Structure 1
Amino acid sequence: MVSNVNMGVFFLLVKLMLCSSRNLQATINPTIGAPWPMPQKYTPTGNVYAIDRSSFRFQATGETCDILTSAFARYRQIIFGTTLKFQPQHGSDNGNALTTASVKVKLECDKFPSLESDESYDLVVSASGISINANEVWGALRGLETFSQLIVRRSLQYFINGTTITDFPRFQHRGMLIDTSRHFLSVDVIKEHIEAMAQNKFNVLHWHIVDDPSFPYTSTAFPEMSEKSSEGIILPEFDTPGNQKFSFMQSNPDITTFMSKMSFGTSYSKLEQYYMQNLLNIIGKKLNKGYLIWQEVIDNGAMVQPDTVVEVWKGGYVEELAKITKLGYKTLLSSCWYLNYISYGDDWRKYYACDPQQFNGTDEQKKLIIGGETCMWGEFVDDTNLIARFWPRAAAVGERLWSDMSLKNAAEAAPRLEEHRCRMVSRGFAAEPVNGPGYCPEEYTMF
């Protein structure tokens, strides 16, 4: 006879076993020294070379500038760390190790990047050495990042995969939106996020500074702010009138009087069109600035400059992309990349599957797609979770915007993303697991 206590234990064990066996999935085995995002042309040779940590250096063989020399120091620290914990014995295991990466930039360095910057580069790793060639310094920076990802550390030794790479971005605008109107984000966390962007080859930080919850920007020197934004990586957004409801208009007698004067009747859509048209005229004519607008400005019939960039963010984006590009406007997509919407499991795969040029349109229309943005709206995001919410899920968007459009197989991408997630963790980013059970050689620590 089995006692009630034993029956209870038996039932508990069975229940635990059933629960633990539900939703089991195979562990994703990470690649070794494979880059993310995938270069346009990537040819591993199958050879592996040792790197001599103690004597390794970067050497500029063409144009040079502070941007490049600072990058050399930064990537040496990323690859090897700040201090030598061991001294390899020269002439033994490291006798044939690679000791130099030659970096050649053809053109004089620009002070700041822009959407027109040339980010292309060639990278060769062979027995005769390591070379990175780029037209502009911005391409050299992309090449240095890819080079760092080819290196693998095993115990106290470093190795690199022999590789030939030709690379350039598919889209010129690869953006990420952060929102400081709904929760405070510290300068340190924003800087950390920008470092993660560089590792994943994003190039535009769309900074949603103000909205209806708050206006955390108090400056009387807006022209200076506008000038600084020309540096290329920061796109400041002043959302107006914000996500306000029509009730704030209906309750204001001055607005009602104005609408009557303008013969708008009770049509608040006409009022919105009037407001947006005047605002766009101020930006375009008085400030002589171009602008990026959300899709509803076009949907509501406002007249905009021919060089306007339109961001498509709502549902039904396939039809909207066709509509906006048919009107002749440069277009960005963010509809399918709202990363503040989280769900259980490996949801990066749906972000990876979304493509900005998958709509019915002519080749000329599809050329008007200049890229896209992944968005992190701040209702439930602040310093405590921004990095983990973004990364490495945003890396899936990064590869979609950088790599060739033929790269669509998420199952083939998963092992590389697994390695890349651990690569981010090793650099100090709180990048969350995205492929189920697994581990990283260097686990994340807050200290």
Structure 2
Amino acid sequence: MPWPKSIQENNQRFIINENLTVSIDGEDPKRLQHAVTSFLRRLSNRSGVFLSHGFAVPLSDEEQAPIQISYQKSAELIIEDDESYQLDVESNKVRLVAHTDVGAIRGLETLLQLLTNNDSEYYLPGVSISDAPRFVWRGLMIDVSRHFHPIDVIKRNLDAMASVKMNVFHWHLTDDQGFRIESKTYPKLHKLASDGLYYTQEQIKEIVEYASILGIRVIPEFDVPGHATAILTAYPELGSKPRATYKIERFSGVFDPTLDPTNEAVYVFLENLFTEIAPLFPDSYFHIGGDENEGKHWDANEDIQKFKREHNLATNHDLQTYFNIRLEQILNKLDKKLVGWDEIMTPNIPKTAIIHSWRGEHEGLPKGGTLIEAAKKGYNTILSNGFYIDRMESVVKHYLTEPIGNIELTPEERKRILGGEVTMWSELVTPLTIDSRIWPRTAAIAERLWSPKEVTDIDNMLKRLEVINYRLEEVGITHIRNKNVILRNLSNNQDISALEVLSNVCEPLKIYSRNEGGTEYKTFSPFTLFADACNVDAKDALKFKQVVKNYTISLSEEHKSDVISLLETWAKNHKAFQKMDKNPKLALLESLSYNLSEVSKFLLKSIQNEKISKKDMQNFKTQLETLKQPFADVELVIANDMENLFEALK
């Protein structure tokens, strides 16, 4: 995962033994040496084979390595880079050939995924793979403003991105809740607007270099003119509300503080800031946000209204376009091209800008939404609509998000659709939980952006994702292990088996309903609750949905026993829950645990044709309706399947 462009088997087998070595043929092999070292460590750890050589060996005519990698040039980390590769595995030789070192890195990840075994040996099955990405921009955005995420969190997610062939890290560094980068030109930004949680410039360089070694570009985002509370906390004179004072925002949502686009000091500030910061990021693109500005402070400021009249700016949207064009000119002097959320797309924005589409189809836009509109108007564009993983929606929904669909485009318009980005907004995630919100769903989205359009088999994807899910631990992702960390915290280190059973059928509330209005949680609220231990695509819920479907279609004894097995687990679980010493956090789950147990007992009676009283029936209906309601910011996602089972048993 991602599935290759072309793959053919040859019925051979390359055995992994202690004599395995890897050679590199290509200029400036720094990236490949790192990739090969990582490959050999992971290969050895998976197989248990004690390799004689733990690093790439020098290329030698006298001794040819069993695994040979060759490439022509080092990638520049630009959108024109060639990431294709050819991989051939035979019984005594593995050849990996690529145009660039980054293409070879992508091929190494495929090679590692091929590793399999029988009871006596580990081996690589004989294959011939020709592979290349469908889209050139395959990104992950991590918001570090709402909750700060230290460099170790960023690094492990970069490693995970590389493992599924993603190539753009979009770093959302500023917002209402914090300014997260050191500025020596305007030090009040990190001193007053970060709560002391920010990256030094040396740390920024460290991450950019680390990403480069993995073949990943880094795009910074400084969100302006809205989402500016943190900036204005440090420099209130740049705001649109005269004589206002500002404080770092602790809640979530869209807020009024906005930079004043009629104040020349704002442009001096931004030019000085960007002149300082831009060199830290070698990439040619620079994201300026530009989203969700409602312009309330602009409307209330008579000087701003006068400026609009004098400059024939009829609306706030026109005023923001004026602001964006000034920004584009600043960035152009710094050899940067502007990227912005789709609100920036107006007739006067230069075609060098990238339009980042986060909204879907809505009134006034052609089929396909802002992504297609931007491409047809001549802009390069990337898609995030459908890839907002913080909405806590199923991996299947994300996997079925097709960037282009069946819309007819000219070859030139198609070329302008560069790809897409997964967006991880962090209002409700901390370093403890962020990995579980990003992974493994992002691996499926990575396949959507890499693999051919026709690769859409959901069952096949889910089967492969199950393997990728635990392999992500190999590169440091904490999404599996930290679940139990949270459950132990909830229980004060008691036996957590009863909580695990509940968490395997519950999912966090979806589409921002967990924190509706943005005021249930502050940035420093507890995020070690039951909802934080629960994940999207709860594994036993998915299993129950399938066994209920199988049974209601076939009514076979085999499928019946599958249903009974799960129902018995839930029927017995409340006894285990009751044995735990209660605390206020666990008390919130009492009703959920009890009603799940009682409904499961009723369904067991029904499926086993036991006598059911009217009182049993009435209790069942009441308890089932209770289970359909949210509990402690989660939903029991098997409630409807339980009802479907009951209807089939009537």
With the length of structure 2 as denominator, give the TM-score of the two structures: 0.54
Query: 1:320 aligns to what?
Result: 370
Could you tell me which of 402, 410, 420 is aligned with 1:363? 410
CA distance in 2, matches of 1:302, 1:252: 26
Write the mapping of 1:38-437 to structure 2, written as runs, cut at 5 A.
Answer: 38-52=3-17, 54-63=18-27, 65-81=29-45, 100-105=66-71, 107-110=72-75, 112-153=76-117, 157-220=121-184, 233-243=217-227, 244-245=255-256, 246-252=295-301, 254-256=303-305, 258-259=307-308, 261-262=310-311, 264=313, 267-284=315-332, 286-298=333-345, 301=346, 303-316=348-361, 318-343=368-393, 347-358=394-405, 360-364=407-411, 365-431=413-479, 434=537, 436-437=539-540
Deviation at 1:311, TM superposition (A): 1.1
Deviation at 1:380, TM superposition (A): 0.8
CA distance in 1, matches of 2:70, 2:308: 62
Q: 1:79 to 1:273 in 2, by over 3 A?
A: same
Deviation at 1:410, TM superposition (A): 1.0
Q: 2:321 touches 2:349 (CA, 8 Å); kept in 1?
A: no
Counting strand residues as a fraction of each chain, which structure ranks higher?
A: 1
CA distance in 1, matches of 2:312, 2:419: 40
SS in 1 for 2:335: coil
Q: 2:13 touches 2:123 (CA, 8 Å); kept in 1?
A: yes
Q: 1:371 to 1:385 in 2, by over 3 A?
A: same
CA distance in 1, matches of 2:309, 2:51: 82
SS in 2 for 1:340: helix
Q: 2:21 touches 2:66 (CA, 8 Å); kept in 1?
A: yes
Which amino acid in 1 is paired with 2:382? L
When the two chains are superposed, the root-mean-square deviation of aligned CA atoms in Å is 3.1
Listed one character per residue, the Cα deviations across residues 158-187 of structure 1 (whole Å, up to 9, x for unaligned) are: 222111101111111101100011110010
Structure 2: 5+ residue stretches without partners? 53-63, 187-200, 228-254, 257-294, 362-366, 481-534, 544-650
Q: 1:177 touches 1:373 (CA, 8 Å); kept in 2?
A: yes
SS in 2 for 1:160: strand
Q: 1:184 to 1:171 in 2, by over 3 A?
A: same
**Structure ID, larger Rg:** 2
Q: 2:13 touches 2:91 (CA, 8 Å); kept in 1?
A: no
SS in 2 for 1:135: strand
CA distance in 1, matches of 2:93, 2:410: 41
Question: RCO (CA 8 Å, sep 6+): is it higher in 1 or 2?
Answer: 1
CA distance in 2, matches of 1:312, 1:188: 29
Deviation at 1:355, TM superposition (A): 1.2
CA distance in 1, matches of 2:347, 2:436: 38
Q: 1:128 to 1:237 in 2, by over 3 A?
A: same
Deviation at 1:264, TM superposition (A): 4.9
The more displaced of 353-362 and 177-186 is 353-362
Query: 1:443 aligns to what?
Result: none
CA distance in 1, matches of 2:219, 2:29: 25
CA distance in 2, matches of 1:87, 1:408: 38
Which amino acid in 1 is paired with 2:166? F
Structure 1: 5+ residue stretches without partners? 1-35, 89-97, 440-447
Q: 1:200 to 1:282 in 2, by over 3 A?
A: same
Deviation at 1:290, TM superposition (A): 1.2
SS in 2 for 1:123: strand
Deviation at 1:422, TM superposition (A): 2.4
Listed one character per residue, the Cα deviations across residues 10-50 of structure 1 (whole Å, up to 9, x for unaligned) are: xxxxxxxxxxxxxxxxxxxxxxxxxx111100123344442
CA distance in 2, matches of 1:62, 1:287: 32
CA distance in 2, matches of 1:115, 1:42: 25
Q: 1:62 to 1:216 in 2, by over 3 A?
A: closer
Q: 2:26 touches 2:73 (CA, 8 Å); kept in 1?
A: no
Question: Aligned pairs, how many?
Answer: 384
Q: 2:14 touches 2:92 (CA, 8 Å); kept in 1?
A: no
CA distance in 2, matches of 1:214, 1:259: 30
Which amino acid in 2 is paired with 1:255? I
Listed one character per residue, the Cα deviations across residues 122-141 of structure 1 (whole Å, up to 9, x for unaligned) are: 11111131111111111111
CA distance in 2, matches of 1:273, 1:221: 27
CA distance in 2, matches of 1:192, 1:309: 28
Q: 1:311 to 1:99 in 2, by over 3 A?
A: same
Deviation at 1:257, TM superposition (A): 5.1
Q: 1:85 to 1:56 in 2, by over 3 A?
A: closer
Counting helix residues as a fraction of each chain, which structure ranks higher?
A: 2
Which amino acid in 2 is paired with 1:42? I
Deviation at 1:396, TM superposition (A): 1.0
Query: 1:445 aligns to what?
Result: none
CA distance in 2, matches of 1:366, 1:85: 47
Deviation at 1:351, TM superposition (A): 0.9
